[in-house]
């Protein structure tokens, strides 16, 4: 079997990668909704993989892996890797999880980071209302995650929130020392959410990046009584091209609340210092940014050897990313907590994808399916109407 083509299109909110072969088997890969510009970067790798056997996943990846980078520039490589596994599974007549070593679990826990309603404001009562709505979702999530502080509009909507300049543009551009008012306000919002959730549903917080180390320590101490599942990306994180594990190690050493990071990190090599120094309690690579699903599995195994937990990122990965996460999460060791549940955007994605269970999530879990490859397909005839005019041949 040989690769004949590599394509990328925008299908709704998600860039979608498709690899075709000379035996009529094709594979799909996912890119986050936040990267509509990624198409030319995907095409950059085409000449390097056409003519290769896609079932030799690692051999193909060795040709392109060294040319990716931290989020967002590892997305193209990651999507190609996922599509290769999809082809390899279909060619073998096996689900991808079988090729990764087999299932550890028959159903995988997911947490809610994507299904949310617009908030009226940034006050404690607004945060309480937001998690109250999550609590009633039909998916029955046992864990929810809420964005606060530098990962939220608090920075611009709460007066005198921090000692810094509010930036009008950029992906999480803020960083600085919180005012006493800002710190108290953030803790009050946490208290309001926990009042609603109680001990029925676990609460994780997406916090940054942007905190200074002293503030991060103070906040972790202040919220210790609330038994949060984790504090994510406080120091560095989303869209930051570095990790600073030495700072995370100091924060983790001073905190009884679990500390989490990793969604922006590309490749296993960039997790080694974080893991080997026990700089965090939980890592959260995204398969659509870290280099793919085999890369994520390697990181999970290595983290487990060091007593570190695993909660993969995934909120913007769409339904193809969801399928990839289900396949790899089924194989992860017992340090696995849950992955961040992605949704289809717009809603017509659920009409064009075949193979997903209905409902997808029950009581906070997804049953692992057994169809070959990723186990889902896009109905080309149903999807064709949504393709950009220039990509009408995407499914040909």
Distance from C-alpha of 191 to C-alpha of 189, rounded to nearest angstrom: 5
Distance from C-alpha of 143 to C-alpha of 134, rounded to nearest angstrom: 10
Task: Classify domain 98-373 at the CATH superfamily level.
Answer: Enolase-like C-terminal domain (3.20.20.120)
Enter the DSSP assignment of 386. Answer: G
Burial class (CB in 10 A: 0-12, 13-18, 19+), 93: exposed
Alpha-carbon dihedral 103, 105, 107, 110, rounded to 10 degrees = -100
Instruction: Find all residues with CB under 8 Å of 109, minimum gap 6, and list them.
Output: 142, 143, 336, 337, 338, 339, 364, 365
Burial class (CB in 10 A: 0-12, 13-18, 19+), 170: exposed
Distance from C-alpha of 217 to C-alpha of 105, rounded to nearest angstrom: 36
How far is residue 310 from each of residues 268, 294, 337, 339, measured CA to CA in Å? 14, 14, 6, 8
pLDDT (0 to 100) of residue 115:
97
List, in sequence order, every residue forming a beta bridge with 2; answer none if it has no partner: none
pLDDT (0 to 100) of residue 223:
98
pLDDT (0 to 100) of residue 325:
98
pLDDT (0 to 100) of residue 224:
98
Report the predicted TM-score, pTM, of the whole model to 2 decimal places.
Answer: 0.97
pLDDT (0 to 100) of residue 75:
98
Residue ranges in the chain whose pLDDT is less than 70: none
pLDDT (0 to 100) of residue 123:
98
Name the CATH architecture for the domain at 3-93+379-391: 2-Layer Sandwich (3.30)
Q: Residue ranges of the domains in the chain? A: 3-93+379-391, 98-373
Token look-up 């180390």 returns 213
pLDDT (0 to 100) of residue 12:
97
pLDDT (0 to 100) of residue 81:
99
Segment 212-269, tens digit of pLDDT: 999 999 999 999 999 999 999 999 999 999 999 999 999 999 999 999 999 999 999 9
Distance from C-alpha of 354 to C-alpha of 393, rounded to nearest angstrom: 20
pLDDT (0 to 100) of residue 126:
98
pLDDT (0 to 100) of residue 182:
98
Are residues 262 and 268 in contact, defined by beta-carbon separation less than 8 angstroms?
Answer: no
């Amino acid at each position: 079997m040989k690769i004949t083509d590599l394509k990328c299109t925008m299908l709704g909110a998600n860039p979608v990668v498709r690899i075709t072969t000379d035996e009529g088997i094709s594979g799909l890969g996912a890119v986050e909704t936040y990267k509509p510009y990624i198409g030319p970067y995907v095409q950059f790798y085409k000449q390097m993989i056409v003519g290769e056997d896609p079932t030799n996943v690692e051999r193909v990846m060795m040709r392109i892996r060294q040319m990716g980078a931290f989020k967002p520039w590892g997305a193209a490589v990651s999507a190609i890797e996922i599509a290769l596994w999809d082809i390899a599974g279909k060619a073998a007549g096996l689900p991808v999880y079988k090729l990764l070593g087999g299932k550890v679990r028959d159903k995988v826990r997911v947490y809610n980071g994507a299904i949310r309603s617009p908030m009226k404001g940034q006050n404690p009562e607004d945060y309480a209302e937001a998690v109250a709505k999550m609590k009633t979702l039909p998916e029955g999530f046992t864990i929810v995650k809420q964005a606060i502080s530098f990962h939220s509009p608090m920075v611009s909507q709460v007066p005198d929130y921090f000692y810094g300049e509010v930036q009008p543009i950029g992906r999480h551009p803020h960083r600085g020392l919180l005012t006493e008012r800002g710190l108290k306000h953030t803790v009050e919002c946490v208290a309001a959410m926990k009042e609603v959730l109680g001990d029925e549903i676990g609460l994780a917080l997406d916090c940054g990046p942007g905190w200074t180390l002293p503030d991060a320590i103070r906040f972790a101490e202040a919220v210790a009584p609330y038994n949060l599942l984790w504090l994510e990306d406080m120091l560095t994180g989303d869209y930051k091209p570095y990790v600073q594990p030495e700072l995370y190690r100091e924060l983790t050493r001073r905190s009884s609340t679990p500390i989490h990071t990793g969604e922006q990190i590309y490749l296993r090599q960039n997790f080694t210092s974080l893991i080997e120094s026990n700089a965090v309690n939980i890592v959260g690579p995204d398969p659509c940014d870290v280099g793919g699903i085999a890369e994520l599995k390697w990181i999970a195994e290595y983290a487990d050897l060091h007593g570190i937990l695993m909660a993969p990122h995934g909120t913007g990965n769409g339904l193809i990313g969801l399928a990839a996460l289900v396949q790899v999460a089924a194989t992860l060791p017992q340090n696995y907590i849950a992955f961040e549940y992605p949704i289809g955007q717009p809603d017509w994605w659920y009409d064009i994808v075949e193979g997903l269970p209905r409902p997808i999530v029950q009581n906070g879990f997804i049953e692992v399916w057994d169809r070959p490859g990723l186990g889902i397909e896009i109905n080309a005839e149903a999807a064709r109407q949504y393709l950009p005019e220039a990509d009408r041949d995407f499914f040909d």
